[in-house]
A and B are shown apart, each in its own frame.
Chain A
Amino acid sequence: MSEGLKKTLIYTALATWTVIALFPIFWTFSTTFKVAKDVQLGNIVPWWQYTPNWLGLRSIGLSPDTIWNDSTPRAEFLARFWNSILASLGASLLALITGSTAAYGLSRFEYRWKIWKNSDISFFFLSQLILPPVVLAMPFLVLYKELALLDNLFGLIMIYALMVLPIVIWIMRDQFNSIPPELEQAALVDGCSSWGAFLRIVVPIALPGMVAAFILSVILCWNEYFFAALLTSTKAKTLPVMVASQTGSQGISWWAMAAISSAAILPLILIGIFLEKYIVKGLTAGAVK
């Protein structure tokens, strides 16, 4: 095969997949600006086949012409959006703090209880990844009812933190293992406490890994639907639940659905574009060496 032909084939394949990957995203954003007729005719190209319309944004009260009016849908939407942000950031922060301290311990100190050692502890942490959330649903529902944490954002944050904790520990342990222990030993000799050595020496070096773990957990929490659907009803409802609950009732208003979905995916797309490096780092930690 000649070099030129090979190049063409490679680029064609890449371009095909690019279209496959991007078209649904484009479709969602563009549907936001379509009226019913354009959706049903399957018009694709804006301005040429149809005129963009503020309908979708107006349905959540965010279009430029109605942005100054009071609107209940907007209040509802912003509340969900805010819940999602709080839940994902809060849970990620909590998981990052507990997870990285746990990972540091696993990476630096020797624990032993009968026949169980460090590697068994980490495997135990990781094995939580295997657990399908549905198995935990009932126990948590009962537990949260007892603790009066149902429909409570704090409860949701706790459960999300639990959910992403194994991933954070996995990434961070990998990160800490790659830092030579001599660095902290030097700090200890110079009179740092072990917490001082951790905070002043190790954390700054491990920061890229921490950012990676943090971003990955934000993504996972942001997208979480399962527990949010089960454990929240009105106050603490998050964006994915809102998206899913729109589909059921009588005829779907496509533009409104598209507007909410766009809002649900837009932050992630921005994260993806600007912080891709960290996501890749987080995903490949531990799996590839």
Chain B
Amino acid sequence: MVFYVATVLVQYAIAFGLALLLNADIKGRKFFRVVFLLPFMLSPVAVGWMIGKSMLEYRFGPVTRLLRWFGWDEPTLLTSPWLAKITVAAMDAWVWIPFMVILLLAGLQALPKEIQEAAKVDGATGWQNFCQITFPLMLPVSVTAIVLRIIFQLKLADIVITTTSGGPGGATDTVSSFIFREYKDRSNVGYGTAMAEVYLILIIIFIALLLKFTSKYMQRPGV
């Protein structure tokens, strides 16, 4: 669980990169924007199936095939605990990066152009420009995006359920998917409900703290 939340930061880094690229002066921006948006709209269940079950198939999935071609003989993407965790995180990232890209891109486009031009005139390099102007100005949007993502991440379940059912040995389980399987597969209602309650309390505390510490950086205090 903590691991999945931590991957949000990696997703953020990738998403910021992509948003910057999209914001650059390029042709066909609309095309790229639509393409980048698509993964976000697909149903997680279908994603779990088409990537998890089919593309990562041990014997003939195109991804395992590619990895073998690169010389990795045993691409046990979904069967060794740590790798499975990373794989599920990667699939989750595939779905959710577009969401962050869109938020960040909107933020970038709302930035006043004059400031960057002024910096350029004053002789700032591209990197300086990014570190000292774009990034600080984007901080509110970034924090908003990350907080939203963390909130959604705490609910992550469908991809886990459809791809690995929490396996191997519960390595990829999130709290949500664990409780779900407790209900659905084992009909262990009492245990599941107790866990759900504890989880709810933990989430409320966690989110309250998160919002308290971040709200002053966010676009809008109090979400």
Contacts and interface: CB of A to CB of B under 8 A. Distances in A.
Interface of A: 7, 10-11, 13-14, 17-18, 20-25, 27-28, 31, 39-42, 44, 119, 123, 126, 129-135, 137-138, 219, 222-223, 225-226, 229-230, 239-241, 243-244, 246-247, 252, 254, 257-258, 261, 264-265, 268-269, 271-273, 276, 279-280, 283-284, 286-289
A219 B41 contact: yes
Contacts of A244: 45, 48-49, 161-162
Contacts of B199: 132, 134-135
Contacts of B33: 276, 280
6 contacts: A21-B36, A42-B61, A138-B189, A230-B180, A240-B46, A287-B145
A239 B98 CA distance: 24
Residue with the greatest number of chain B CB neighbours at <10 A, chosen from A130, A252, A273, A286? A130
Interface in B9-64: 17-18, 21-22, 24, 26, 30, 32-39, 41-51, 53-55, 59-62
A25 B110 CA distance: 32
B151 to A, nearest CB: 5
A39 B57 CA distance: 10
A277 to B, nearest CB: 9
Contacts of B73: none
Nearest to A285: B106
A168 B24 CA distance: 32
Contacts of B44: 223, 225
B183 A138 contact: yes
A11 B29 CA distance: 11
A27 B197 contact: no
B141 interface: yes
Nearest to A263: B46
B152 to A, nearest CB: 8
Given A40-B60, A132-B154, A123 B223 contact: yes
Given A126-B223, A272-B34, A279 B41 contact: yes
A21 B38 contact: yes
Contacts of A40: 59-60
B183 A230 contact: yes
Contacts of A286: 219-220
B200 interface: yes
A21 B41 CA distance: 12
A287 B103 contact: yes
Chain A, interface SS category: helix
B155 A132 contact: yes
B62 A44 contact: yes
A289 B148 CA distance: 16
A133 B174 CA distance: 13
A243 B189 contact: no
A261 B180 contact: no
Given A132-B199, A286-B220, A13 B106 contact: no
A284 B103 contact: yes
Contacts of A257: 49, 53-54
B192 A138 contact: yes
Contacts of A20: 94
B144 interface: yes
A230 B158 CA distance: 12
Contacts of B196: 134-135, 137-138
B103 A252 contact: no
Nearest to B179: A134
Nearest to A242: B45
Given A10-B26, A230-B180, A244-B49, 13 more contacts: A11-B26, A18-B32, A40-B60, A44-B62, A129-B151, A132-B157, A138-B196, A225-B158, A246-B49, A264-B46, A269-B38, A272-B34, A287-B219
Contact of A284 (B65, B106, B154): B106
